[in-house]
Structure 1
Amino acid sequence: MFGRIKSLDAILATAEKKSLHRSLGAFQLTMLGVGGIIGTGIFVLTAEAAQKAGPGMMWSFVIAGFVCAVAALCYSELASMVPVSGSAYTYTYAVMGELLAWMVGWALILEYAVAASAVSVGWSGYFVGLMRDYLGITIPATLANGPYAGGVVNLPAFFIALLVTGLLMIGTKESARFNAILVVIKVAALTLFIIATIGIINTDNFTPLTPNGWGTIGVGGAAASIFFAYVGFDAVSTAAEETKNPQRNVPIGLIGSLVICTVFYLLVAAGAIGTIGAQPVTGLGGEVLSPGSPELAQRCAAIVASGVTEPLACSKEALAHVLKTIGWNKLGAVIGLAAGLALPSVVLMMLFGQTRIFFVMARDGLLPEKLATVHPKWKTPYIVTAITGAVVAVGAAFFPVGKLADVSNSGTLFAFLMVAIAVLIMRRTDPGRNRPFRTPVVWLVAPLAIVGTVALYFLLPIDAMLVLPIWGAIGLVVYFAYSRRNSHVGRGLVEVHEDDPDAPPQPVPPMPGAPTPGGIQA
């Protein structure tokens, strides 16, 4: 299992050849993290959290943020040691071998693709509201919801996924300035929401605090779901090679962005709960209804039809809905517009990340190298992008945002678990290795990350938990049927990195005392 290790020295030599300029400071890293984190999680999943935890979702944000913080510290150490593309997949390959690296990469494919679907569905809810508020166009519910919500297909989500896929295929990328503008839009929208709601909070709306308790359908389950709201901080750790004084600035960027976003999330949650309440919607018999279920959709439709104000847990555009309910219709429309403008960029980031992992794995020989073919005109891996985009669009068309987020979280939690384990293994097997950033109190932080990720995984709904082992079993079949015998490391070839991606792989130079290349040690 641990035999085929990709040479860490070769990877580091590649990083040296890239010679990236160290220009990022603590502030730039923090803003990079904030831009990567704020997205569908807070704009959409607030309603999902309300249905599971009620007002107790404030605790859920704290729990999910803490687990992300300890995982981020582990992630950062490996990112500073192995500052090349491939994310947790590359780190695991260098530390624990090809099989576990394959499983991490396979899980990351699931994470990014399903997350892109989830963000597409989240954007759809705001788009439907924008069409209604600004143009007076009402999109029929049958075409704006999947079967889970009484509709047929979610066409807006389907088309935004295809549109972003098309942009990626022809090589359209966000510029740094465009990214900065989107960060400002997102932060400004949340700030406006907080200012509008914080002064009219009714503390009675916080009682009962935990109507469904602390379990799977409660605060713990909500924490597992809104873990999705924090994913994106890895943009900070992967920028370690371009950071001035990474030992100081990387942890500031990681923890700073997580703290800022956690404070924003808590204030937004407090504003939403305190103004219109966030108690879960129950069935006619008082039973707890599962988020994203047809039963909840039917109950929400009945509540609205009776003339009662739509509960927060029923809303497809949670933050805009809160403002409209308290009479701030124009400001609610502005929040909806901000989400409508900002969320497609998150879809693009997720799709780009997924295709990048796919591309690196194909270039390693673990997937058919045809998938890594670069288009002669567009200069993008267009085949894998098209395949990914089609799958993402279909997922967005037929599944609810909460279910998609939970499935994405299962893959993310597995990747974070492997990163925390890899940090501990490297501390024992290679303690003298240069670490530009060292995880503080690693023998406490890494076990906390391990326990936290495992706990959140088991707090996910059972169907989301089962997706990961089923997906993993499919991955093992693919690995032993194809990947193991085609692996470049197994064949004694070394990967060629970004500086010359079209060059063929080269034989690994023999090392004194090393086994012959047959899949053991490169």
Structure 2
Amino acid sequence: MQFGRVKPLDAILATAEKKSLHRSLGWFQLTLFGIGCVIGTGIFVLTSAGAQKAGPGLMLAFAIAGAICIVAALCYAEIAAMVPVAGSAYTYTYATMGEVLAWTVGWALVLEYAVAASAVSVGWSGYFTGTILNEFLGIQLPAFLSGAPLALGGVEGGFINLPAVFIALLITGLLMIGTTESARVNAILVAIKVAALTAFVALTLPSDYFSTDKFNPFLPAGVFGGLGTGVGAVGAAATIFFAYVGFDAVSTAAEETKNPQRNVPIGLIGSLLFCTVFYILVAAGAIGTIGGQPIMGPNGVPFPAGSEELARQCATYAANDLPLVCSNEALAHVLRQIGWSGVGNALGIAAFVALPSVILILLFGQTRVAFVMSRDGLLPESWSKVHPKWKTPHVITAITGSVVAFGAAFLPVGKLADIANAGTLYAFMMVAIAVMMLRKTAPNQPRKFRTPALWLIGPLTIAGTIFLYINLPIDAMLVLPLWGAIGLAVYYAYSRSRSHLGRGIVESHEVEAVTEIEPHTPGTH
């Protein structure tokens, strides 16, 4: 099953050696990269939305999404260690199913990372304006500077989300300076997040406010809310799958990893296991203390998360009696409700400080995928230039950061997680297909990590990703084919004729306009 030109594995590896990124990341940094993205997005941004979709069944939703991610990670681990170059699912598809499908995967990953980074930038803006400016400094930022024109919940008077633009551009600058430096900052932010969430679990699970009665009914919207509705435990799992994009970003870092055959699998699976358990514990603490039942519509179905209808319902509650599903800073709100206001405010600060690590990893993943697509000639070759001092792909990083900042400034965020998921799920499905095909087409290629029971894990990954995709809201489901149609138009109008593989340039010729990168000591520029 090949569509278009297939790039030989030997050519991919040779290209990476000729025009490469500096290898500076170890297994611990990779694991922290994964934890940094997974924990930050799902817990701090999507807890309320998940509870509105599934109620206490949010715990089951985390387990469903985590289980599908783990089987997908096992596929990723084999192929990322086997093909240790930047580009993630795009590169793997290129080596197995051909240039056309590889383009569609890369195009989907561009959507996934950029939309997700914009969404988290807006999430950070909420903590900054609410917790930092309002709660601590007593400053009320004007609505026209803190909300997009069509922002979540129908905020009136919004023109531009200035804090979201600021954080997106700040993280872009950090990534341009250097990968090792970015990883070090991320490690500090991950430590802050893990400490804050550990404190949350320790204060809520043994709390006098905790009651198993609050988990009844456990599945108020059922396990399956209905295809295209995005509610129920499975609908919530399809939404919070957004939070697990971290392990995909780990695989994009393979080309910048020391000993990728060992370190990439550890980073992938270790971060996923850690985060899935943490998710379930935090969800149990939040729901068991103040409850997490969704606000139902007149038809007995939860109001859509982020909708104007839900915003109107939430406006009827007093601030000190606000349900979990209505809070923009869910975990801090829970602690304030049970008498730990000081710790709740500290957790809000932790979210404010730590969410940039999520944006960092999403931007990191997006720029590395686009870097490799440019290196293959499918995007303008100037985009894959590596800065002679910083040793990073500064051109594509600047372009990506600008697009993300624009999205965060002006676009609505209510559906962004679901839209990002559509691209993510497609990419994960293609990786599972690729790893099974490579077992047939390249059986003798060295594999330092082999997916156990691939005959079972591979099909489970494919089935799981399709299962979550069809449980997204219908409008989010439609974004992927529409975005894909635009991508195919770009491919046939521009990329196909400029492809290095199509022009017979597959190895050392790809380094024409780029100076050979000299090794440097990690931490220096």
TM-score of the pair, normalised by structure 2: 0.87
SS state of the match for residue 303, structure 1?
Answer: coil
Structure 1 residue 240: Cα displacement: 6.1
Asked whether the 8 Å contact 1:488–1:495 carries over to 2, the reply is: no
Structure 1 residue 393: Cα displacement: 2.2
Instruction: Look up the equivalent residue of 2:46 and give its one-letter code.
Output: L
Instruction: Look up the equivalent residue of 2:146 and give its one-letter code.
Output: A
Asked whether the 8 Å contact 2:253–2:365 carries over to 1, the reply is: no
| Structure 2 residue 282 is matched with structure 1 residue 273 | no
| Structure 2 residue 329 is matched with structure 1 residue 328 | no
Aligned to 2:118: 117
| Structure 2 residue 54 is matched with structure 1 residue 53 | yes
Aligned to 2:146: 144
The equivalences for 1:142-291 within 5 A come to 143-146=145-148, 147=150, 148-151=152-155, 152-153=158-159, 154-169=161-176, 174-200=181-207, 201-215=210-224, 216-237=230-251, 242=257, 246=261, 251-283=265-297, 287-291=301-305
Structure 1 residue 235: Cα displacement: 4.8
Structure 1 residue 91: Cα displacement: 1.2
CA RMSD of aligned residues (A): 2.9
In 1: Cα distance, 2:349 partner to 2:154 partner: 26
Asked whether the 8 Å contact 2:81–2:265 carries over to 1, the reply is: no
Structure 1 residue 127: Cα displacement: 1.2
Structure 1 residue 267: Cα displacement: 0.7
The number of aligned residues is: 500
| Structure 2 residue 296 is matched with structure 1 residue 292 | no
Alignment match of 1:446 (pick from 442, 458, 479):
458
SS state of the match for residue 223, structure 2?
Answer: coil
Moved more, 11-20 or 176-185: 11-20
Post-superposition CA distance 1:458-492 (Å, at most 9, x none): 11111111111000000000111111111010000
In 1: Cα distance, 2:454 partner to 2:189 partner: 35
In 2: Cα distance, 1:21 partner to 1:85 partner: 11
Alignment match of 1:477 (pick from 455, 480, 489):
489
Instruction: Look up the equivalent residue of 2:137 and give its one-letter code.
Output: L
Post-superposition CA distance 1:298-345 (Å, at most 9, x none): 2212334xx661111111111111111222111111111111111112
SS state of the match for residue 49, structure 2?
Answer: helix
In 2: Cα distance, 1:88 partner to 1:204 partner: 44
The equivalences for 1:88-103 within 5 A come to 88-103=89-104
Aligned to 2:374: 362
Instruction: Look up the equivalent residue of 2:233 and give its one-letter code.
Output: V
1:161–1:179: structure 2 CA closer, same or farther, 3 Å change rule? closer
What are the ranges of 5 or more consecutive residues in structure 1 without an aligned counterpart?
505-522
SS state of the match for residue 7, structure 2?
Answer: coil
The equivalences for 1:307-346 within 5 A come to 309-346=321-358
Asked whether the 8 Å contact 1:74–1:419 carries over to 2, the reply is: yes
Asked whether the 8 Å contact 1:92–1:418 carries over to 2, the reply is: yes
| Structure 2 residue 408 is matched with structure 1 residue 396 | yes
Structure 1 residue 209: Cα displacement: 0.6
In 2: Cα distance, 1:178 partner to 1:383 partner: 22
In 1: Cα distance, 2:252 partner to 2:387 partner: 26
Structure 1 residue 452: Cα displacement: 0.3
The equivalences for 1:449-468 within 5 A come to 449-468=461-480
In 2: Cα distance, 1:30 partner to 1:384 partner: 25
Moved more, 157-166 or 80-89: 157-166
Instruction: Look up the equivalent residue of 2:189 and give its one-letter code.
Output: L
What are the ranges of 5 or more consecutive residues in structure 2 without an aligned counterpart?
225-229, 517-525
- Percent identity over the alignment is 65
1:51–1:297: structure 2 CA closer, same or farther, 3 Å change rule? same
In 2: Cα distance, 1:361 partner to 1:253 partner: 24
Structure 1 residue 162: Cα displacement: 3.0
1:235–1:497: structure 2 CA closer, same or farther, 3 Å change rule? farther
Asked whether the 8 Å contact 1:292–1:400 carries over to 2, the reply is: no
In 1: Cα distance, 2:106 partner to 2:85 partner: 15
Structure 1 residue 373: Cα displacement: 4.8
Post-superposition CA distance 1:367-418 (Å, at most 9, x none): 2224345567776555543443333223223445451111111111111100
In 2: Cα distance, 1:254 partner to 1:167 partner: 24
Instruction: Look up the equivalent residue of 2:293 and give its one-letter code.
Output: Q
Aligned to 2:11: 10
In 1: Cα distance, 2:260 partner to 2:491 partner: 40
Instruction: Look up the equivalent residue of 1:159 and give its one-letter code.
Output: F
Instruction: Look up the equivalent residue of 1:359 and give its one-letter code.
Output: F
SS state of the match for residue 38, structure 1?
Answer: helix
1:477–1:109: structure 2 CA closer, same or farther, 3 Å change rule? same
Structure 1 residue 142: Cα displacement: 5.4
The equivalences for 1:4-83 within 5 A come to 4-13=5-14, 24=26, 30-83=31-84
Post-superposition CA distance 1:60-80 (Å, at most 9, x none): 000000010000010111111
In 2: Cα distance, 1:266 partner to 1:454 partner: 23
SS state of the match for residue 84, structure 1?
Answer: coil
In 2: Cα distance, 1:61 partner to 1:320 partner: 20
Asked whether the 8 Å contact 1:23–1:243 carries over to 2, the reply is: yes
1:389–1:23: structure 2 CA closer, same or farther, 3 Å change rule? closer
Moved more, 442-451 or 157-166: 157-166
In 2: Cα distance, 1:378 partner to 1:406 partner: 35
Asked whether the 8 Å contact 1:22–1:244 carries over to 2, the reply is: no
Asked whether the 8 Å contact 2:289–2:338 carries over to 1, the reply is: yes
1:394–1:303: structure 2 CA closer, same or farther, 3 Å change rule? farther
In 2: Cα distance, 1:497 partner to 1:235 partner: 28
Instruction: Look up the equivalent residue of 2:240 and give its one-letter code.
Output: I
In 2: Cα distance, 1:268 partner to 1:470 partner: 36
Alignment match of 1:134 (pick from 114, 133, 136):
136
Asked whether the 8 Å contact 2:192–2:350 carries over to 1, the reply is: yes
| Structure 2 residue 420 is matched with structure 1 residue 408 | yes
In 1: Cα distance, 2:497 partner to 2:15 partner: 25
